[in-house]
Structure 1
C-alpha cells in the first residue's frame, strides 16, 4: 500500500511540476502586463478554500521562487558562478552551493513583499500578526517576482565587459525601481483609500526600509 501511495504522490508531483511550463509564462505575462489586477486576484483567492486557490496561475510565493531559479540559471549561463559562492567570505561562507545561494536570494527579494505588507497592515492600524499579513504578502509576491527578474537582469548586464551592457544594466535597474515604486503608490492608494501623494509617502517609507534591509543583508553575506 505504501508503494502505491508513493506512485500516486510521484504522479501528482510530476503533473504539478510539468504544469509549471504552462502556468509560469501565463503568470509572468499577467504580472508584467496587469500587475495590480494580479494583486487583486491574489487577494480574492485568499478567500477560497485552499485546494481551489490559484488554479489558473502559480501561487505567488512559488512564482517568486521559480523566477529566482530562472534568473540564477541565466546568470550561470552568461557570467558564471556567483562571487559569493566562489569566495565564501563573511556569512557568505554558509552559501557553499547554488541551492543555498538561491535560498539567500529568495530571502533577499522576499523582504520587499514582507515590508510592503507590514506597512499596509500598520497603516490600517491593525494588529500585526500572521493573519492580516498573509494576504498582502502574497499579493506583493506577484509584483516582486518581475521586479526580481529585472534586477537580476540588470545585475547580469553590469557584470558583462562591454560598456554598453553596463549602461543598459543601469537603465534596466532604474526602470525596475520606477516600475515597482509606481505600483506601490497605486497599491497603497487603492487599499488605504487615500490620495496618491499620501500613498507615495507610505510607499517611499516601505521602499527605503526594504532597501536598507536589502543592503544590510548584502553587506553581511559578502
Structure 2
C-alpha cells in the first residue's frame, strides 16, 4: 500500500511538472499581452477554492520561480557561471555555487512584489495583514516576472563581446522599464480611480523602491 501511494504521488508530481511546459508560455504571453487582466486575476483567483485556482495558468509564485530558473539556465548556457560565485567580499562569500546563487535570486526578486505589494496597500488605504497582502503579492508577481526576465536577459547579453548583443541588451532594458512603469501606472490609476497623474506618480514611487531594493542587494553582495 505505501508503494502504491508513492506511485500515485509520483504520478501527480510528474503530471504537474510536465504541465508547466504548456502553462508557462501561456502565462508568460498573457502577462506580457494583458498584464492588467492578469493582475486582476492574481487577486480574484484566491477567492476560489484551492483546487480551482489558476486552472489554466501557473500560480504567480511558481511563475516567478520558473522564470528565475530559466533565466539562470540561459546565463549558464551563454556565459557560464556568474561572477558573483567567485567573489569573496560582502555577503557574496555565502554564494559558492549555482544552487546558493539561485536561492539568493529567488529571495531577492520575490522581495520585490512583497515590498511593492505592501506599499500598494498603504497607497490604496487598505489594511496590511496576511489576508490583504497575498492577493496584491500575487498581482505584483504577474508584472514583476516579465520585468525580471527582460532585465536578466539584458544583463546576460551585456556581458558578451558583441555590439549586437549590447544593443539587444539596451533594448531589453528599456522595454522592461517601459513595461513595468506603464503597467504599474495603469494599475494604480484603475485601483485608485484617479487620473493618469496619480497613476504615474505612484508608478514612479514603485520604480524607485524597486531600484533601491536591487541596488541595496547589489551592495550587500558586492565582492572585491
The TM-score by the shorter chain falls in which range? over 0.9
For 1:171 and 1:29, locate their aligned partners in 2 and report how far apart those are by CA, in whole Å: 19
- SS of corresponding position for 1:160: coil
CA deviation profile, 1:53-98 (whole Å, cap 9, x unmatched): 0111000010011011001100000011001112243211211221
For 2:157 and 2:93, locate their aligned partners in 1 and report how far apart those are by CA, in whole Å: 25
CA deviation profile, 1:141-185 (whole Å, cap 9, x unmatched): 112111111101100111000133223212211221111100000
CA deviation profile, 1:101-120 (whole Å, cap 9, x unmatched): 11211222223312321122
Q: Does 1:167 align with 2:180?
A: no
Match of 2:13 in 1: 13
For 1:38 and 1:28, locate their aligned partners in 2 and report how far apart those are by CA, in whole Å: 10
Match of 2:45 in 1: 45
For 1:209 and 1:111, locate their aligned partners in 2 and report how far apart those are by CA, in whole Å: 11
Deviation at 1:38? 1.0
Q: Do 1:150 and 1:172's aligned partners in 2 also have CA atoms closer than 8 Å?
A: yes
For 1:193 and 1:8, locate their aligned partners in 2 and report how far apart those are by CA, in whole Å: 49
Structure 1 stretches of 5 or more lacking a match?
none
Deviates more, 1:2-11 or 1:55-64: 2-11
Count residues with an aligned counterpart: 222
Match of 2:149 in 1: 149
- SS of corresponding position for 2:190: helix
Could you list the runs of 4 or more consecutive aligned residues of structure 1 that deviate by over 6 angstroms after TM superposition?
none
For 2:3 and 2:86, locate their aligned partners in 1 and report how far apart those are by CA, in whole Å: 41
Give the TM-score normalised by the residue count of structure 2. Answer: 0.94
Match of 1:129 in 2: 129
For 1:157 and 1:124, locate their aligned partners in 2 and report how far apart those are by CA, in whole Å: 38
For 1:93 and 1:13, locate their aligned partners in 2 and report how far apart those are by CA, in whole Å: 35
Match of 1:69 in 2: 69
- SS of corresponding position for 1:66: helix
Q: Does 1:202 align with 2:202?
A: yes
Deviates more, 1:159-168 or 1:194-203: 159-168
Deviation at 1:191? 1.1
Q: Does 1:55 align with 2:49?
A: no
For 1:27 and 1:142, locate their aligned partners in 2 and report how far apart those are by CA, in whole Å: 9
- SS of corresponding position for 1:46: helix
Deviates more, 1:182-191 or 1:192-201: 192-201
Give the TM-score normalised by the residue count of structure 1. Answer: 0.95
Structure 2 stretches of 5 or more lacking a match?
none
For 1:143 and 1:18, locate their aligned partners in 2 and report how far apart those are by CA, in whole Å: 24
Match of 2:116 in 1: 116
For 1:99 and 1:192, locate their aligned partners in 2 and report how far apart those are by CA, in whole Å: 41
CA-based RMSD: 1.3
Q: Does 1:101 align with 2:139?
A: no
